[in-house]
Structure 1
């Protein structure tokens, strides 16, 4: 019990350091990290997130919903895959509606932006407007001649452009964090009630570190105005607290909680499959497609840089898949 209680603080500190380091390295001048190392954390984290969805969530959720403890109705239809699919479509619809609403607001202000927008330097901006994408329209005078828009109008347009990008960035990373948090609470609960504690604790420690690096690298690439600068650190803190909260909750019900019960299998299975859908959508659409296919800098990057990014991603996927052997 002493080790279980101690793991709350150990995992909290480890997760917090892993998540905040990329953020601080990107923000603090004297803590500059080489670009190659920073890119490693970013692409490695993408692989971790995709592997987590398949190996740690979807596989576990399907196993829980196919348990012999459940009624025949749960095994006669692939409910786990259905829940995962519904989760993907739900996120797609939410993001589509948010994106169309944001686009219409910007259009009323005369602002155009790239539908697959990424920030300068390859930073993921979750469909946000690209830097320099503001349209400097000409205004017509009474006599029909053209004149440039005033500097005040340009500043206002640029400000609204940044605000639109900020909102969409937060939505994109928020979706990613929601899936990660849900998963982190569940593994904390599992860790608290398991009998084979030591091995699972070590595996989850590595798991949270790798996942934290990936999330932190994404948070570090958010280009936010000063009034929003605390958001990445707040998100990192919430991530670090998720698994300890799950452990604390698990310890509280450890004497009465039966991980092999019908109710437990249904709840864990549904939550795992739902979380898997969130991370699959985020990993494949937001990270892979928008980082490699729609990122102008990556499209024009050298073959060496592209190979390095893909290798880092595959390494993260392989490492997290290997951890799935034990957890």
Structure 2
């Protein structure tokens, strides 16, 4: 379960330490911003607390289906919550993350070659989406093979147990359920892979957002971001929480994934505060670093929202056979995408 998170941390450290291949002579310092470190720090600390609460609340709402029957994955309400959250994630990729990546990688602060000669943002997003598809497919294949091997071993064990007791009758009554439950197990594997890959994509841009906010010294810039990013984290948490609920992880794994998600943006803000004296968000290094990670994150989020969240539920026989449920899912999707798009006015 922890492999995607470890991969994320490794990639983050590698990209943070590697020097960029191209630099511009311009540093594009923003001298006209009003800097007040003391006031900015107060807003940053408020942002850490507010975003943490928003993230924890959002990710826990779908997970509470275990104790609140109305929120369980087999209920219609769950389809509405998941569609709403998918709209949020889709809007995050298209409206929030991808435009930032374009702005970063087409900045006049970067040298003309290669950054102005090739659409790196679209290229990185495309490669990221393709890479996500490959990881999605390979991970699902790997877990299915592992499950099949384990099921085969169980059948062999059942045969041996049957021989020791009452002939083949005992084997038949024990072995049949493993084949009957194969489809359900396959769906469960898919949900587990989806939840981990989605968390990876969310975490990438959450860390970048946090660092950028933490490194900013302008209270006017930070103030409107506190509420906007809190709602942002809340809605994304709902999407991830829905996937975690469907994956049916053990309680320990659920707590680890929810905690990891909830802490990424606050930790990013803390990192930004620590490096604020040396970090310049308009330097070539920062622009390239943020642009590449934002583009990669956008590709992951757009793929996950369209393929693993919306397509699966929209093609679900239960949704296909219920006109009211179809309408409700569509309204929830548009509402989630619309509200998240509206937040782009402030964040």
* TM superposition score category, shorter chain reference: 0.7 to 0.9
Tell me if structure 2 keeps the 8 A contact 1:48–1:317: yes
Q: Any residues of structure 2 matched to 1:1-327 within 5 Å, and which? A: 1-24=41-64, 26-29=65-68, 32-33=70-71, 35=75, 37-72=77-112, 73-104=114-145, 150-157=172-179, 165-194=187-216, 195=218, 196-224=221-249, 228-293=250-315, 295-301=316-322, 303-327=323-347
Does the 8 A contact of 1:106 with 1:161 survive in 2?
Answer: no
| C-alpha distance in structure 1 between counterparts of 2:104 and 2:273, whole Å | 21
Q: What is the DSSP-based 3-state SS (H/G/I as helix, E as strand, rest coil) of the residue aligned with 1:58?
A: helix
- SS of equivalent residue, structure 1 residue 75: coil
Deviation at 1:161, TM superposition (A): 6.4
> Structure 1, residues 277-321: CA drift from partner, whole Å, max 9, x if none?
11111011101211112x1212222x2210110110011001111
2:14 corresponds in structure 1 to: none
What whole-Å deviation, never above 9, does each CA across 1:66-89 have from its counterpart, x for those lacking one?
000111110111011000111111
> C-alpha offsets along residues 119-141 of structure 1, whole Å, 9 cap, x if unaligned?
xxxxxxxxxxxxxxxxxxxxxxx
User: Normalising by the residue count of structure 1, what TM-score does the alignment of the two structures yield?
Assistant: 0.80
TM-score (norm: length of structure 2): 0.75
Per-residue deviation, 1:32: 4.5
Give the whole-Å Cα distance in 2 for the aligned partners of 1:9 and 1:107: 45
1:134 aligned partner? none
Shift of 1:40: 3.0
Equivalent pairs counted in the alignment come to 286
Shift of residue 104, structure 1, vs aligned partner? 4.8
Contact (CA 8 Å) 1:109, 1:157: kept in 2 or not?
A: no
Structure 1 unaligned segments of length 5 or more: list them. Answer: 112-145
Structure 2 CA distance, aligned partners of 1:235 and 1:198?
29
Of Structure 1 and Structure 2, which has the larger fraction of its residues in helix? 2
User: What is the alpha-carbon distance in structure 2 between the residues aligned to residue 199 and residue 80 of structure 1?
Assistant: 27
Change (3 A) 1:203 1:93: same
Match of 1:121 in 2: none
Name stretches of at least 5 consecutive residues in structure 2 with no aligned partner: 1-40, 153-167
- Structure 1 residues 104, 205: closer, same or farther in 2, change over 3 A? closer
Q: For residues 28-67 of structure 1, what are the alpha-carbon distances to aligned partners after superposition, in whole Å with 9 as ceiling and x for unaligned? A: 15x7459554433221101000000111111110110000
Is residue 106–residue 160 contact of structure 1 (8 Å, CA) maintained in 2? no
Q: Deviations over 1:94-137 (max 9, x none)?
A: 222233344555666899xxxxxxxxxxxxxxxxxxxxxxxxxx
Q: 1:105 to 1:230 in 2, by over 3 A?
A: closer
Q: Which moved more, 1:248-257 or 1:210-219?
A: 210-219
Q: In 1, Cα distance between the equivalents of 2:55 and 2:141? A: 35
42-51 vs 181-190, which deviates more? 181-190
Q: Is the 8 A contact 1:88 1:278 kept in 2?
A: yes
> Post-superposition shift, 1:220?
1.9
- Return the alpha-carbon distance in structure 2 between the equivalents of residues 232 and 286 of structure 1: 19
